[in-house]
């Protein structure tokens, strides 16, 4: 029997893998010999492993099961942390460790999100989109907790490059038994209705739908683009004094904690109109980038925290709304693949801090961030081509 709390087990795995992926945001302060552009590049480098792993693992998990995919992801996550802990700051080894962490994240997020959805649906949980919201909260909580605790480790404990990774490896060890005992609903239905759905609604139909092309495709990179500008790019432009590591962790936790807090509101917006959460999320991104430009120009800590809240709201609304829309567009047989496509697009946003840092070496960061707000405005304009018709009726 599948209980109402069964979804917590795969959610714990998504949380732990997210922790390992994002704790590097605070650990950057432990690699003081790296240039800022190179450090930001290492932070985003795990997308090199993540995006192909997302697309491959999603299809594999549809065939071999969510449990096997998520167990492999957890083991790869621990391996990546082990490599990083033994790197002694060597750039090539750190890069290899980050790519391994990316592969683990790609192997976890698509199948994990699909598994959370399946368990939520099987337990007859009330409320549309509850599976997407639970998956988004698990991922975001891991992203927030990782840098917050690692920032404290870097700030106050010895050997932070070893201690932080050992904490993560311990969390992986504690999570493995939970995943092993998690129920896995049957994924294949041989009935005629399912066969018809599989043949008539393949992933290519989803990727050519107007809702995907005009809403998901342009807005998805702003999911992590907004968040990483807040907790990766901006802390490099504002002095945090003697508390750089823990301060960066607090900024990351504030950004991502706001992302968790706004997700129920995103659900209420979606019930009002399918377009509302996308346009609200992009409005937050526009305002957040304007505040980011003002923060870079003034160096104000108050503005930095305010910007983190606004860009965190953009992150949270766009994340859960994108997942919900992809769920509504994809048949159950292709859920993991659809989710993987969404995450692949969202992770393109990890290039934003690198772009900001690189362009800021050529121009003042203020006009660079103002240009970012203009790009966000252009992105919001594309959502007006996706609706007013409900994309679930396509």
Query: How far is 150 from 20, CA to CA, in rounded Å?
Result: 10
> Using the 8-state DSSP alphabet, how is residue 213 labeled?
I
Are 320 and 135 contacting, i.e. CB atoms less than 8 angstroms apart? no
Say what the pLDDT of residue 304 is: 95
83: closest CA among 55, 42, 140, 29?
42
The pLDDT assigned to 379 comes to 95
pLDDT, position 12 = 96
Query: Two tokens at 229?
Result: 């500008």
pLDDT at 358: 85
Q: Residue 356 is encoded by which pair of tokens?
A: 């900001």
Task: In whole angstroms, give the CA distance from residue 87 to residue 83.
Answer: 6
DSSP 31-88: -TTS-HHHHHHHHHHTHHHHHHHHHHHHHHHHHH-HHHHHHHHHHHHHHHHHHHHTST
Digit-by-digit pLDDT tens for the chain (394 residues) are 678 789 999 999 999 999 999 898 888 777 767 766 677 677 777 878 888 898 888 788 878 888 999 999 999 999 999 999 998 888 889 999 999 999 999 899 888 988 998 888 775 555 556 888 899 899 999 999 999 999 899 888 888 889 999 999 999 999 999 999 999 876 543 333 433 334 444 556 777 788 898 999 999 999 999 999 999 889 888 887 767 678 888 999 999 999 999 988 888 888 888 899 999 999 999 999 999 999 999 999 999 999 999 999 999 999 999 988 888 887 777 777 888 889 889 988 988 888 888 898 888 999 999 999 999 999 999 998 887 554 444 4
Name the residue among 174, 137, 167, 169 with its Cα closest to residue 150. Answer: 167
Are the C-beta atoms of 307 and 298 separated by less than 8 Å? Answer: no
Residues contacting 243, CB < 8 A, separation 6+: 155
pTM of the model: 0.83
Name residues whose C-beta falls within 8 Å of residue 177's C-beta, 6 or more positions apart in sequence.
Answer: none
Could you give the residue ranges of the DSSP H alpha helices within the chain? 8-22, 24-27, 36-45, 47-64, 66-85, 91-122, 130-156, 160-180, 192-200, 203-207, 210-211, 217-219, 221-228, 244-261, 263-272, 276-298, 301-329, 335-347, 351-360, 365-382
CA distance 339 to 62: 12
Instruction: Measure the CA–CA gap between 118 and 116, rounded to whole angstroms.
Output: 6
Residue with the two structure tokens 């739908």: 209
User: What is the token pair recorded at 264?
Assistant: 């129920």
Find out whether 16 and 172 touch, Cβ atoms under 8 Å. Answer: yes
Given a contact cutoff of 8 angstroms between Cβ atoms, the answer to whether 69 and 62 are in contact is no
Nearest to 45 by CA among 108, 93, 12, 112: 93
Q: What is the pLDDT of residue 70?
A: 94
């Amino acid at each position: 029997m599948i209980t109402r709390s069964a979804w917590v087990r795969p959610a714990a795995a998504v949380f732990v893998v997210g922790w390992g992926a994002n704790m590097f945001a605070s650990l950057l302060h432990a690699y003081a010999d790296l240039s800022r552009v190179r450090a930001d590049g290492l932070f985003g480098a795990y997308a090199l492993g993540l995006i192909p792993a997302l697309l491959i693992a999603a299809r594999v998990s549809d065939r071999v099961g969510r449990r096997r995919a998520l167990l492999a992801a957890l083991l790869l996550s621990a391996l990546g942390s082990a490599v990083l802990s033994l790197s002694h700051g060597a750039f090539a080894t750190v890069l290899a460790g980050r790519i391994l962490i990316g592969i683990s994240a790609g192997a976890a997020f698509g199948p994990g999100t699909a598994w959370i959805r399946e368990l939520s649906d099987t337990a007859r949980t009330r409320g549309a989109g509850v599976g997407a919201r639970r998956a988004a909260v698990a991922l975001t909580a891991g992203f927030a907790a990782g840098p917050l605790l690692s920032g404290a480790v870097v700030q106050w404990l010895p050997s932070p490059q070893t201690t932080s990774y050992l904490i993560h490896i311990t969390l992986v060890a504690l999570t493995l038994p939970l995943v092993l005992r998690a129920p896995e609903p049957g994924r294949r239905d041989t009935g005629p209705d399912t066969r018809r759905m599989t043949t008539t609604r393949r992933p290519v139909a989803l990727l050519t739908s107007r809702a995907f092309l005009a809403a998901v495709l342009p807005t998805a990179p702003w999911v992590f683009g907004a968040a990483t500008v807040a907790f990766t790019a901006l802390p490099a432009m504002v002095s945090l004094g003697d508390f750089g590591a823990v301060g960066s962790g607090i900024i990351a936790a504030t950004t991502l904690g706001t992302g968790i807090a706004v997700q129920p509101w995103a659900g209420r917006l979606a019930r009002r109109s399918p377009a509302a959460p996308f346009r609200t999320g992009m409005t937050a991104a526009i305002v957040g980038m304007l505040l980011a430009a003002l923060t870079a120009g003034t160096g104000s800590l108050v503005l930095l925290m305010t910007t983190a809240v606004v860009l965190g709201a953009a992150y949270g609304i766009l994340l859960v709304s994108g997942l919900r829309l992809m769920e509504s567009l994809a048949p159950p047989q292709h859920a993991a693949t659809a989710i993987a496509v969404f995450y692949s697009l969202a992770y393109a946003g990890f290039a934003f801090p690198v772009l900001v840092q690189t362009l800021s070496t050529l121009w003042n960061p203020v006009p660079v961030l103002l240009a970012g707000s203009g790009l966000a405005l252009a992105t919001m304009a594309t959502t007006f081509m996706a609706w007013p018709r409900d994309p679930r009726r396509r």
